[in-house]
C-alpha cells in the first residue's frame, strides 16, 4: 500500500508540474530574419499559442547559415519546452545536406511536435526570357547546356534546381545570393534566368507582369494562381515539392510536454481565424501527430540525400 501511495503521489506531482506549464514566456525560434517566409507564419502561430497557453510566446529571429545558427542554439535548450522552433524543409533537410559546417543532427537533436502547413514553390523567369512554359525552358536549357543560370538563395533552391536538371538531363549554372531581395532584383533585371522560390516572394510580381511564373511545383495547381500549370502537367511528376513547416523542441523535451503542445497546435490549426491569417501569408495549414512529422522528416532526408548524390550536389558540401 505504501508503494502504491508513493507512486500515486509522484504521478500527481508530475501531472501538477506539467499542468503549470508554461511557467514563463516561451521563445519560438526561427532561423531567418523578420519578414521572411518563415518569420511571417511564426508570428501568427506565436500569437495563437500565447492566447491558448496564457503566457507570452515571443518569436526570436536567429538568422544566418541558412538556419544552422538557430538550429544549433535550439538543440542545446534545457528549459523543458520554453524554447521551441518553427523549422522547415530548408533547415532540417536541405541545409544539412549541402552545408559542410552543420553540426546538428536533424533527427537526433530535435523532438517533432506537429506539422503546421505547407507553402507552394514556384518556378519563374523574366518576362523577356524566350520561354513561355516550363517545357520551353527545358528545351532552351538542353539547347544551351550550362549557359542558363539559376538563383540560389539557400540550399533548398540548389536542391530543387538539382532535381530539375536531373529529371530533364539539363545543366544550368548556379549563382549564389545572400538573400531573396538581391536575387529577385536580378531576376527582374534579366541578369538571372531562373528562380525557384516560395509563392509569396513571387505572386505579386507575377500578377503585375514583372515576372513570368512558369509552373508551381507539385501535382495540383495553387488556388492563388489557378492559371499557372503544375510541373506534373509539364510531364515532370518527380519535380514536385512543397516547403513544409513544423514545430519542434529540443530532443530532451519530455513526452508529456510534446503531447500537450501537439494538442495545442492541433486545436489552433482548426481555428478559422488563425487558418485565414496563415493562408494570407501563403501557408496552407495542416497539423499532424509527432510521429507523422518524424516520419516526414526521415523520409525527406533519405529521398533528398539520394537526389543530392545523384545530381552531383553532395560534392558542393565538401568544397
In a domain, 281, yes or no: yes
- Same domain (yes/no): 204, 279: no
Q: pLDDT (tens digit, 9 = 90+) per residue, 189-225?
A: 999 999 999 998 788 899 899 999 999 998 899 999 9
In a domain, 140, yes or no: yes
- Same domain (yes/no): 113, 28: yes
Q: How many CA atoms lie within 13 A of 181 on its CB side?
A: 3
In a domain, 52, yes or no: yes
- Picking from 175, 130, 34, the residue whose alpha carbon sits closest to that of residue 184 is 175
Q: For the chain, what is the domain count?
A: 2
Q: What is the CATH number of the domain that holds 40?
A: 3.40.190.150
- Same domain (yes/no): 157, 111: no
Q: What is the pLDDT of residue 66?
A: 87
Whether residue 16 is predicted with pLDDT greater than 60 in this model: the reply is no
| Mean pLDDT, all residues of the chain | 90
Last residue of a domain, one of 155, 182, 216: 216
Q: Can you give the residue range of the structural domain that contains 89?
A: 19-119+242-318
CA distance linking residue 93 with residue 246, whole number of Å: 12
Q: What is the pLDDT of residue 229?
A: 96
- Same domain (yes/no): 273, 126: no
In a domain, 108, yes or no: yes
Average pLDDT, integer, range 29-34: 93
Sign of CA dihedral 150, 304, 241, 234: positive
- Picking from 104, 115, 117, 116, the residue whose alpha carbon sits closest to that of residue 251 is 104
Q: In this prediction, what percent of the chain has a pLDDT beyond 70?
A: 92
CA distance linking residue 222 with residue 228, whole number of Å: 8
In a domain, 267, yes or no: yes
How far is residue 273 from each of residues 35, 56, 174, measured CA to CA in Å?
21, 19, 41
CA distance linking residue 106 with residue 104, whole number of Å: 6
Q: What grid cell was written down for 32?
A: 531567418
Residue 207: CB partners within 8 Å, gap ≥ 6?
A: none
Quick check: 302 and 123 in contact, CB under 8 A? no
Q: What is the pLDDT of residue 22?
A: 96
CA distance linking residue 215 with residue 228, whole number of Å: 6
Whether residue 7 is predicted with pLDDT greater than 60 in this model: the reply is no
- Same domain (yes/no): 110, 127: no
- Same domain (yes/no): 31, 92: yes
Q: pLDDT (tens digit, 9 = 90+) per residue, 146-162?
A: 999 999 988 999 999 99
pTM of the full predicted structure? 0.89
Residue 58 φ/ψ region, left for φ over 0, alpha for ψ in the -120 to 50 degree band, beta for the rest: beta
- Same domain (yes/no): 137, 83: no
Q: What is the CATH number of the domain that holds 159?
A: 3.40.190.10
Model confidence at 8, pLDDT cuts 50, 70, 90, reads very low
Whether residue 316 is predicted with pLDDT greater than 80 in this model: the reply is no
In a domain, 229, yes or no: no
- Same domain (yes/no): 138, 212: yes
In a domain, 272, yes or no: yes
Amino acid at each position: 500500500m505504501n508503494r502504491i501511495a508513493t507512486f500515486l503521489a509522484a504521478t500527481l506531482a508530475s501531472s501538477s508540474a506539467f499542468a503549470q506549464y508554461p511557467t514563463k514566456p516561451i521563445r519560438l525560434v526561427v532561423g531567418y530574419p523578420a519578414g521572411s517566409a518563415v518569420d511571417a507564419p511564426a508570428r501568427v502561430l506565436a500569437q495563437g499559442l500565447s492566447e491558448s497557453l496564457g503566457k507570452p510566446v515571443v518569436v526570436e529571429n536567429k538568422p544566418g547559415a541558412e538556419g544552422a545558427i538557430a538550429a544549433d542554439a535550439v538543440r542545446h535548450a534545457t528549459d523543458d519546452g520554453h524554447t521551441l522552433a518553427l523549422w522547415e524543409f530548408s533547415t532540417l533537410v536541405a541545409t544539412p545536406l549541402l552545408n559542410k559546417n552543420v553540426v546538428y543532427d536533424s533527427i537526433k537533436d530535435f523532438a517533432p511536435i506537429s506539422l503546421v502547413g505547407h507553402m507552394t514553390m514556384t518556378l519563374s523567369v523574366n518576362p523577356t526570357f524566350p520561354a513561355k512554359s516550363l517545357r520551353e525552358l527545358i528545351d532552351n536549357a538542353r539547347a544551351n547546356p550550362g549557359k542558363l543560370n539559376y538563383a540560389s538563395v539557400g540550399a533548398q533552391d540548389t536542391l530543387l534546381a538539382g532535381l530539375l536538371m536531373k529529371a530533364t538531363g539539363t545543366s544550368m549554372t548556379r549563382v549564389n545570393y545572400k538573400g531573396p531581395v538581391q536575387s529577385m532584383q536580378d531576376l527582374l533585371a534579366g541578369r538571372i534566368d531562373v528562380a525557384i522560390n516560395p509563392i509569396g516572394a513571387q505572386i505579386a510580381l507575377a500578377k503585375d507582369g514583372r515576372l513570368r511564373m512558369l509552373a508551381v511545383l507539385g501535382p495540383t495547381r495553387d488556388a492563388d494562381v489557378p492559371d499557372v500549370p503544375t510541373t506534373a502537367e509539364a510531364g515532370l511528376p518527380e519535380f514536385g515539392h512543397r516547403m513544409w513547416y513544423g514545430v519542434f523542441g529540443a530532443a530532451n523535451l519530455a513526452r508529456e510536454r510534446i503531447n500537450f503542445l501537439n494538442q495545442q497546435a492541433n486545436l489552433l490549426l482548426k481555428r478559422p481565424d488563425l487558418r485565414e491569417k496563415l493562408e494570407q501569408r501563403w501557408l496552407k495549414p495542416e497539423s499532424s501527430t509527432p510521429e507523422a512529422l518524424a516520419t516526414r522528416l526521415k523520409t525527406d532526408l533519405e529521398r533528398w540525400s539520394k537526389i543530392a548524390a545523384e545530381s552531383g550536389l553532395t560534392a558542393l558540401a565538401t568544397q
